[in-house]
Structure 1
Amino acid sequence: MSKVKYYYDSENLAYRKIKTRKRKKFGVVVLFLLASALFGLLSFVILLNTPYFETPKDRLQAREIENLKLNYAILNKKMDQVNGVVNAIEDRDNNLYRVYFNKTAIPDSTRKAGLPGVDRYKILEGYDNSQLVTNTAKRMDILTKELVIQSKSLDDILKLAAAKSDFLAAIPAIQPVRNENLKHMASGFGYRTDPFTKVRKMHEGMDFTAKTGTPIYATGDGVVTRADNSASGYGNHIVIRHGFGYETLYAHLSKYKSRAGQRVKRGDIIGFVGSTGRSEAPHLHYEVHKDGKVVNPLNFYYGNISAAEYVAIAHLANQENQSLD
């Protein structure tokens, strides 16, 4: 039951009941309801922004964030494994492949340098887990750059290996006449007595004595540039250009088995021993030229003779006897 309120009427000297208008009552009720609604809304907003009250959407987002953190952790672990493999490849590249091919090692400062641009990761800043995302992005960029550098390096190594293979095949590395076909090593490289003038002069090759018709072999891959008898003293002779500055000459042949312009491989038969030109007996005069200068052929017989055979040949070749041409 609501309280009845009175006021004192001084004119009539009596207490009278205060009558509340219905409109005023309605206004008071409406004001109370509005205040209650505002208070309730304010309380709800405060609760939403406290960690003690989670909506289903908040819980879903929290699970997604935890899943992303887990995925980033797994990604970083995989990058650790890939980085270990890349480091091993880089170590072999610098300390094995590049050493073998006489190439300068790629420094770590080049391999592991970050990508240019100070604002490259600015877009990732300002979030709760920005540090995690930014560090992962940086690691991925560096690893990607390392892989690109290593890929280019291996491409260079493959090119060097192909060139090295061609180089090794081109070097005149075998004897032009097989040991079993030799009578003996007649004369080596150096000053020898000329068989015709009896004057001591430079002998710019090695003489291999053998029967007429004994096969002569190309000592390295190359192209026959001459197969004629137009050079004075050499008689029928062949010149092979091997590339990389190497040329070989085979003189006093009885017959040819190759022609100018023909490409030959090491071990191919290119002609046969004879005694044409300025020659005293059937033999092969063999010369090796490097960058236009004559060099001792004895230094190139590592392809088909043993160490003991090399010592024996070197002993015979170094004797100052008479040459056969």
Structure 2
Amino acid sequence: MAKVKYYYDPEKLAFHKILPKKRKQFGYFFLFIFTAALFGLLAFFILLNTSLLETPKQKRQAREIAAFKTNYKLLSKKMDLLTEVLDELEVRDNYIYRSYFNAAPIPSEQRRSGLGGINRYKEFEEFNNEELLISTNERMDRLSKQIAIQSLSLDELVDLAKGKEKLLASIPAIQPVKNEDLKSMASGYGYRTDPFTKIRKFHEGMDFSAHVGAPIYATGDGTITRANNQLSGYGNLIEITHGFGYKTRYGHLSKYNAKQGQKVKRGDIIGYVGNTGRSTGAHLHYEVYYQGKVVNPLNYYYGSISAKEYELLAEQASHENQSLD
């Protein structure tokens, strides 16, 4: 309570109350109103940032948002873990499982290619957290695609496993001419001197020098898909399609012991060594193809010769001499 002040009037010999000026009273009143408003506004902002003024509905929504944020963090961690597991599985699938069954690896571009479609996530464009929704759904879709491709790959590997015995029988794994019938391994796979042009060129097979009439053996199970002399340079030629990406050719035969369309087993006699076609002496020209590409036959003789014989054959094949065709 404000103090009341007095002054002494010597003429009337009495004390009189000092009354404040009206302007000063108005100033005090205005200062009081301003201070009260400032404190009220401050209190209002404080209340806005607390839960005291929230309605039950707002409190429920706040709890739901907090739960969604927590669940999203958990989902993101699970997606990270799933991605890591999938990446490891893809590496093992390509370089262990598929390699074991001689299946071509699935390219990374195929596993992670785009999902296609224009404005695939248009339905999320009206939401405030549009970017988060789109990125999360896109990530989930990519993971789903990776899982689908991996599932198909595993199904393929299961089928290959069921046919493993057939695969092993189909691989061209023996020498096409027996060692006792060989004069020599005349020329190997790689760059050699052409006997006709004397120019260095790539020799796509191996030349086995033997006497005319020496038996030629199918190096793996398969079907005779060619038995004629219509392929330039090969003379009398037999071609066997083994399946699983393998194909073999046997050139310059003197005569056939199999016909086109006939199924053969590894070790069956399919023809006899000759000197037909573009050839400078009696020999068998032998080629191996895998997935449409010619490969070194030397890598496949594990089914018929010893380690010592293989070393000798490899040493002879490495000589860059003149081929016989």
After TM superposition, the score normalised by the length of structure 1 is 0.52
What does residue 194 of structure 2 align with?
Answer: 194
After superposition, give the CA deviation of every residue in 1:199-248 in whole Å (9 maximum; x if it has no partner).
00000000000000000000000000000000110000000000011000
Instruction: Determine which structure has more spread, i.e. the larger CA radius of gyration.
Output: 1
Question: Counterparts of 1:156 and 1:321 in 2: how far apart (Å)?
Answer: 43
Aligned to 1:312: 312
2:109 corresponds to 1:102: no
**2:237 matches 1:237:** yes
- Give the Cα–Cα distance (whole angstroms) in 2 for the partners of residues 173 and 160 of structure 1: 18
Q: Which residue identity is paired with 2:288?
A: V
Matches within 5 A, 1:65-214: 102=97, 160-214=160-214
- Change in CA separation of 1:316 and 1:156 when aligned onto 2, cut-off 3 Å: closer
Whether the 8 Å contact between 2:251 and 2:286 is mirrored in structure 1 is: yes
Correspondences of 1:25-44 after superposition (within 5 Å): none
After TM superposition, what 4+ stretches of structure 1 lie above 4 angstroms from structure 2?
A: 155-160
Deviations 1:20-66 (A, max 9, x none): xxxxxxxxxxxxxxxxxxxxxxxxxxxxxxxxxxxxxxxxxxxxxxx
Q: So what's the TM-score if we normalise by structure 2?
A: 0.52
Report the 3-state secondary structure (helix = DSSP H, G, I; strand = E; otherwise coil) of the residue aligned with 2:185.
strand
Q: Which segments of 5 or more consecutive residues in structure 1 lack a partner in the other structure?
A: 1-97, 104-154
Task: Report the AA paired with residue 172 of structure 1.
Answer: P
Q: Which residue of 1 aligns with 2:268?
A: 268
For these two proteins, the number of residue pairs brought into alignment is 177
Separation in 2, partners of 1:263, 1:189: 28
The amino acid across from 2:97 in the alignment is N
Specify the SS of the correspondent of 1:316.
helix
Describe how 1:6-25 pairs up with structure 2 within 5 A.
none
Residue in 2 that maps onto 1:289: 289
Cα distance in 1 for residues equivalent to 2:233 and 2:240: 18
What is the rounded CA distance, in whole Å, between the counterparts of 2:251 and 2:179 in structure 1? 18
2: distance between equivalents of 1:183 and 1:156?
A: 44
Contact kept in structure 1, 2:97 and 2:157, CA below 8 Å: no
Structure 2 residues not aligned, in runs of 5+: 1-92, 99-154
Percentage of pairs with the same residue: 67
What CA deviation, in whole Å up to 9, does each residue of 1:246-278 have, x standing for no partner? Answer: 000000000000000000000000000000000
Shift of 1:316: 0.2
Q: Distance in 1 between matches of 2:316 and 2:220?
A: 24
Q: What's the Cα RMSD here?
A: 2.2
Query: 1:102: how far off?
Result: 2.7
Shift of residue 171, structure 1, vs aligned partner:
0.3
One-letter amino acid of the structure 2 residue matched with residue 247 of structure 1:
K
Give the 3 Å change call, closer, same or farther, for CA 292–156 of structure 1 in structure 2.
closer
Output the CA distance in 2 between the equivalents of 1:162 and 1:257.
Answer: 32
